[in-house]
């Protein structure tokens, strides 16, 4: 048998004992009040009992008096015991459910005067009563120290609980002795009472802010609300008895009414605990708290104003009757009621929900903050913080779309401790910029209509700020990309120069020097040994031809000669012709590509281009030729296509600013780039090279699926004056 099962059995036994004592105490209490608590002090009634004359004067008797109190306390006990039984039946498998059921069931019997009526009946009952009262206070305080997850967290709370419990347990088992705090130090006893009552709320508030998760926080709100109302009612009634003791004791109606108020306040505790323990998706308690604070504060204000005015008017005008004083006070209260109620409602709303009722004030404050010189990130952070503080939200952030990716550029609050945020689109002039992320105040809670109205207005106004910040951030990213591109360009150029220098110095220079020596040797032997001279000259011719080929290869790497001889369209057509020659039967794709052999005759190219192109910058010609060459080679090697269309078009730029551009489109009907994208989503080396060549000139190169299947490569190379000048300078530097 497990420990949890043993504690469940023990809890059930304790609850049954408490119920039995309650059922025995209710009729005993009624009989004791009816027969012994009129005209004389009795142990079951701790207030001044009414007299027979007072009861007769008000049309009452002892039976009605006893029945009123027995019914009130019996109803209180039934509510607590009923909730305790429900919790035990539904949650007794958990330790927290057992503790809660014991605390609730026993409080219904031990809180009021019912237990006083059966004291002294039998020593066994007296001992059982002390044990039940001890169990009741231990269970109640333990419940609030471990609610709602059943753990002592923080760990020091268990020791604080022990320190608070010890005086109560000693007083319960040893009343009237030196171990009883009330007997030993009567002035410290009220302090201890206030400490243990305050600790129940304090520990819940601490756990709510530092320990608990989202769902547990919502449960804690209900428990703290019920406990706060119960303790508030207890404190108010206690203060009323202290300040107006004589007036209350002289009027049994006032005594009974004070007990009714106390019972109603205390009955909220089991109801809220029942919701918190048994409902997984809790109702939102914030509106209830809001209205309770507003109307509770308003009621206290009205009562205070009414009493104050009646007293002041009575002192100032002694001749006025009490009815006249009351009439004047009522009129003043009626005049003040509406403006005071609106101010209280506004104050409570802002305390709980922020400034959702005054978005213009928030926008004005945001505008004043943005007047200061701020960086783009700081401007976004000001917007985010203003939203979060204005609505009292746990988290807010701004998510922008950069290069197709959603990036959170600014946030305020802890997203790990906040509920899942709601995304509100940020739009400026029809362009979607990103999203404003706002987390609800608690889990399972949605925004109120006033919150939505506030957020809609703020999002519209914040779009311009976000657009400005986004433009600055885009410019920063573009500058970074440009800097990296220039670095790569410089590095590539220097590497190319290094390669050329190495080839010229290590290969061609020694070879030319050797040619000179060989020619000198041939000149020396020409008269004496003509045969040897002839052999040397033949070898010299071979070396010269090889050197010429190497020099042509170096020149070709710098700029394809076909561009100068045939122009861009002719060079591309020649390359297509090279790839379209008939093949030998034993054709191998890799060998064919490495030897620049022809593909199978089944692949047909079509070139669409003007008869003559306008003069193009050298850099644009080279980039266009390299992009087209790499694209059609990829078609040959990878696509499995039967047709490939190459299109060259000179047209106005997309911006319409008058600068021209060269548009390149290569479309094939092969199987597309799906397989290669799965293995290499960013593309291969060839695609990367094509993209870099276009971006270096300020253009772009895109790879996508063709509308009718296959692949499509689209490139745009601008023909601006700056590009032309830079191209000429680069060409001159390379030359």
The tens digit of pLDDT for each residue in 5-50 reads: 888 888 889 889 989 988 888 899 898 888 888 888 887 887 788 8
Report whether pLDDT(319) > 60.
Answer: no
Q: What is the pLDDT of residue 581?
A: 64
pLDDT class for 279, splitting at 50, 70, 90? low
Determine, yes or no, domain membership for 309: no
Three-state secondary structure call for residue 259: helix
Q: What's the pLDDT at 578? A: 81
**Residue partners of 716: CB distance under 8 A and separation at least 6:** 654, 661, 662, 663, 664, 694, 699, 700, 701
Of 231, 248, 283, the one marking the end of a domain is 283
- Report the percentage of the chain scoring pLDDT > 70: 72
- Mean pLDDT, residues 572-596: 59
Boundary (domain end) residue, out of 254, 283, 312: 283
**CB contact at 8 A, 361 and 461:** no
**Which region among 130-139, 333-342, 640-649, 672-681 has the lowest average model confidence (pLDDT)?**
672-681
Those residues with Cβ within 8 angstroms of residue 575's Cβ, 6 or more apart along the chain or in another chain: 562, 625, 628, 629, 632
Q: Which of 630, 617, 621, 624 is nearest to 688 (CA)?
A: 630
pLDDT at residue 284, as a whole number: 43
Per-residue pLDDT reduced to its tens digit, 240-258: 777 777 777 888 888 888 8
State the pLDDT confidence band at 701, using cuts at 50, 70 and 90: very high
Asked if 632 contacts 575 with a C-beta cutoff of 8 angstroms, the reply is yes
Answer yes or no: is pLDDT of 666 > 90.
Answer: yes
State residue 307 phi and psi, 5-degree precision: -65, -45
Q: Are 274 and 86 in contact (CB under 8 A)?
A: yes
Shortest CA distance to 165 belongs to which of 136, 187, 204, 186? 136
Tokens representing residue 429 in the block: 């002039």
- Residue recorded with tokens 């079509």: 606
Query: What is the model's pLDDT at position 646?
Result: 93
Residues 269-287 have a mean pLDDT of: 60
Q: Output the 3-class SS for 371-414.
A: CCCCCHHHHHHHHHHHHHHHHCCCEEEEEEEECCEEEEEEEEEC
Asked, for residue 25, whether it belongs to a domain, the answer is yes
| Cis omega (within 30 of 0) for bond into 174 | no
pLDDT of residue 230: 79
617 near 650, Cβ under 8 Å? Answer: no
Residue of higher predicted confidence among 493 and 310: 493
- Lowest-pLDDT choice from 121-125, 266-270, 470-474, 526-530: 470-474
Helices (H), 526-617: 530-558, 561-579, 589-594
Instruction: Kindly report which listed range (270-279, 520-529, 582-591) carries the lowest average pLDDT score.
Output: 582-591
Domain of 672, CATH number, reads 3.30.565.10
Last residue of a domain, one of 283, 318, 341: 283
Indicate whether 682 pLDDT > 60: no
Is residue 594 assigned to a domain? Answer: yes
Highest mean pLDDT among 209-218, 588-597, 671-680, 684-693 belongs to 684-693
pLDDT of residue 654: 46
Q: Which helix (H) or strand (E) holds 97?
A: helix 95-110
- Over range 373-386, report the average pLDDT: 72
Residue 495: asked if its preceding bond is cis (omega within 30°), the reply is no
Residue 53 has pLDDT above 60, yes or no: yes
Q: Does the residue 138 lie in any domain?
A: yes
Residues in a beta bridge with 435: 399, 425
pLDDT at 191 over 70: yes
pLDDT band at 650 (very low <50, low <70, confident <90, very high): confident
List, for residues 612-638, the tens digit of each pLDDT value. Answer: 788 888 888 888 998 998 898 888 888
The CA-atom distances, in angstroms, between 528 and each of 76, 370, 422, 482, 521 are 138, 96, 99, 67, 11
**Residue 486 corresponds to which tokens in the numbers above?**
């220039």
- What pLDDT was estimated at residue 524? 80
Q: Does the structure show a pLDDT above 60 at 587?
A: no
- The per-residue pLDDT for 348 is 57
412 within domain boundaries: no
Pairing of strands 422-428, 711-719: unpaired
Q: Is the pLDDT of residue 320 over 80?
A: no
> What is the mean pLDDT of the segment spanning 449-468?
71
Residue predicted with more confidence, 710 or 305: 710
Q: List CB contacts of 654: < 8 A, sequence separation 6 or more.
A: 661, 716
Q: Is the pLDDT of residue 514 over 80?
A: no
Predicted confidence at residue 309, as pLDDT, reads: 67
- If you average pLDDT over every residue of the chain, what do you get? 75
Q: How many domains does the chain have?
A: 2
Scored b (16 or more CB within 10 A) or e, 335-354 reads eeeeebbeebbeebbeeebb
pLDDT of residue 168: 80
| Mean pLDDT along residues 62-84 | 88
> 349 vs 174, which has greater pLDDT?
174
pLDDT value for 726: 46
Please report which confidence band the pLDDT of residue 729 belongs to, taking 50, 70 and 90 as the band edges: very low
Contacts of 372 (CB under 8 A, 6+ apart): none
Inside any domain, residue 276: yes
With residue 707 as reference, give the H or E element that holds it.
Answer: none
Please name the residue that has the structure tokens 């209180």.
76
Q: How high is the pLDDT of residue 621?
A: 87
- To the nearest 10 degrees (0 to 180), the angle between helices 252-278 and 214-243 is 170
User: What is the pLDDT confidence band of residue 648, given thresholds at 50, 70 and 90?
Assistant: very high
CA distance 151 to 504: 80
3-state DSSP: the chain helix, strand, coil percent, rounded to 5?
70, 10, 20
Mean pLDDT of 454-475: 72
Task: Please state which of the ranges 332-346, 407-421, 578-592, 629-643 shows the lowest mean pLDDT.
Answer: 578-592
134 within a domain of the structure (yes/no): yes
194-203, 206-215, 453-462: which has the highest mean pLDDT?
194-203
Query: Residue 126: its pLDDT value, please?
Result: 83
Which pLDDT belongs to residue 383?
77
Asked if residue 496 belongs to a domain, the reply is: no
Average pLDDT over residues 312-335: 64
**Using CA atoms, how far apart are residues 296 and 290, in angstroms rounded to an integer?**
10
Quick check: 267 pLDDT over 80? yes
Q: What is the pLDDT of residue 681?
A: 45
For residue 283, pLDDT over 50 is answered with no
Q: What is the pLDDT of residue 365?
A: 67
User: Would you place residue 414 in the very low, low, confident or very high pLDDT band (cuts 50, 70, 90)?
Assistant: confident
Q: What is the pLDDT of residue 326?
A: 66
The residue among 539 and 504 whose pLDDT is bigger is 539
Has residue 111 got a pLDDT over 60? yes
pLDDT at 713: 93
Taking residues 362-367, what's their average pLDDT? 66
- What tens digit of pLDDT does each residue of 714-727 get? 999 888 644 444 44
Q: Is the pLDDT of residue 596 over 50?
A: no
- Give ∠ CA 542-547-549 in degrees, rounded to 5: 95
pLDDT tier at 735 (50, 70, 90 boundaries)?
very low
> pLDDT class for 132, splitting at 50, 70, 90?
confident
Maximum CA extent, the chain: 165
Q: So what's the pLDDT on residue 628?
A: 92
Percent over 90 (pLDDT), the chain: 3
For 584, the domain range is 566-734
Beta-carbon contacts of 439 under 8 Å, excluding residues fewer than 6 positions away, are 393, 394, 395, 396, 413, 415, 418, 419, 420, 421, 422
pLDDT greater at residue 437 or residue 389:
437
pLDDT beyond 90 at 647: yes
The single residue listed with the structure tokens 């090889």 is 546
Phi/psi zone of residue 278: left (φ > 0), alpha (ψ -120 to 50 degrees), beta? Answer: alpha
Identify the CA nearest to 718 among candidates 623, 590, 597: 623
Q: Is the pLDDT of residue 491 over 90?
A: no
């Amino acid at each position: 048998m497990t420990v949890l099962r043993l504690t469940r059995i023990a809890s059930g036994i304790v609850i049954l004992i408490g119920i039995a004592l309650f059922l025995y105490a209710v009729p005993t209490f009624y009989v004791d009040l009816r027969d012994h608590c009129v005209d004389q002090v009795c142990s079951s009634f701790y207030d001044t009992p009414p007299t027979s004359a007072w009861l007769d004067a008000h049309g009452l008797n002892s039976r009605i008096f006893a029945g009123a109190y027995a019914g009130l306390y019996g109803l209180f006990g039934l509510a607590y015991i009923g909730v305790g039984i429900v919790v035990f039946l539904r949650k007794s498998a958990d330790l927290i459910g057992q503790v809660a059921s014991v605390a609730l069931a026993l409080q219904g019997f031990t809180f009021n005067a019912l237990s006083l009526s059966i004291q002294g009946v039998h020593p066994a009952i007296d001992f059982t009563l002390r044990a039940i009262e001890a169990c009741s206070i231990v269970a109640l305080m333990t419940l609030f120290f471990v609610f709602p997850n059943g753990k002592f967290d923080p760990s020091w709370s268990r020791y604080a609980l022990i320190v608070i419990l010890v005086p109560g347990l000693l007083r319960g088992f040893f009343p009237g002795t030196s171990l009883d705090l009330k007997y030993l130090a009567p002035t410290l006893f009220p302090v201890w009472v206030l400490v243990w009552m305050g600790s129940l709320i304090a520990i819940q508030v601490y756990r709510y802010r530092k320990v608990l998760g989202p769902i547990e926080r919502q449960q804690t709100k209900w428990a703290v609300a019920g406990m706060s109302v119960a303790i508030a009612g207890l404190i108010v009634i206690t203060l009323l008895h202290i300040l107006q003791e004589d007036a209350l004791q002289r009027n049994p109606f006032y005594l009974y009414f004070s007990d009714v108020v106390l019972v109603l306040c205390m009955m909220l505790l089991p109801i809220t605990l029942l919701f918190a323990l048994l409902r997984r998706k809790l109702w939102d308690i914030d509106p209830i708290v809001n209205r309770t604070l507003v109307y509770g504060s308003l009621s206290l204000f009205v009562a205070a104003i009414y009493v104050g005015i009646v007293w002041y008017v009575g002192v100032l005008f002694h001749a006025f009757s009490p009815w006249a004083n009351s009439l004047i006070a009522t009129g003043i209260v009626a005049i003040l009621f509406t403006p005071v109620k609106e101010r209280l409602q506004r104050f409570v709303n802002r305390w709980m929900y922020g400034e959702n009722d005054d978005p213009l004030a928030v926008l004005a404050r945001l505008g004043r903050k943005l007047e200061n010189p701020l960086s783009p990130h700081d401007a976004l952070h000001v917007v985010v913080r203003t939203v979060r503080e204005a609505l009292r939200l746990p988290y807010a952030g701004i998510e922008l779309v950069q290069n197709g990716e959603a990036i959170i550029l600014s946030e305020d609050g802890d997203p790990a401790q906040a509920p899942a945020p709601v995304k509100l689109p940020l739009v400026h002039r029809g362009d979607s910029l990103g999203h404003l992320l706002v987390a609800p105040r608690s889990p399972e809670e949605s925004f109120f209509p006033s919150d939505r109205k506030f957020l809609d207005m703020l999002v519209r106004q914040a779009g311009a700020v976000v657009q400005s910040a986004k433009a600055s951030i885009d410019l920063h990213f573009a500058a970074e990309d440009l800097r990296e591109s220039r670095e790569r360009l410089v590095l590539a150029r220097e590497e190319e120069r290094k390669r050329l220098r190495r080839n010229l110095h290590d290969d061609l220079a020694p070879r030319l020097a050797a040619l000179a020596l060989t020619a000198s040797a041939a000149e020396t032997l020409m008269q004496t040994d003509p045969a040897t001279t002839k052999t040397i000259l033949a070898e010299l011719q071979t070396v010269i031809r090889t050197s010429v080929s190497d020099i042509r290869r170096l020149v070709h790497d710098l700029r394809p000669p076909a561009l100068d001889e045939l122009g861009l369209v002719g060079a591309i057509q020649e390359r297509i012709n090279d790839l379209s020659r008939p093949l030998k039967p034993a054709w191998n794709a890799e060998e064919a590509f490495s030897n620049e052999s022809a593909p199978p005759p089944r692949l047909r190219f079509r070139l669409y281009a003007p008869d003559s192109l306008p003069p193009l910058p050298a850099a644009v010609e080279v980039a266009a030729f390299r992009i087209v060459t790499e694209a059609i080679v990829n078609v040959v090697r990878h696509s499995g296509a039967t047709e490939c269309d190459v299109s060259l078009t000179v047209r106005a730029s997309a911006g319409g600013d008058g600068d021209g551009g060269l548009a390149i489109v290569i479309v094939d009907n092969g199987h597309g780039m799906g397989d290669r994208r799965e293995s290499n989503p960013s593309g291969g080396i060839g695609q990367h090279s094509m993209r870099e060549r276009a971006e270096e000139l300020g253009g772009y190169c895109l790879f996508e699926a063709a509308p009718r299947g296959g692949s499509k490569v689209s490139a745009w190379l601008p023909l601006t004056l700056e590009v032309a000048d830079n191209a000429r300078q680069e060409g001159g530097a390379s030359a």
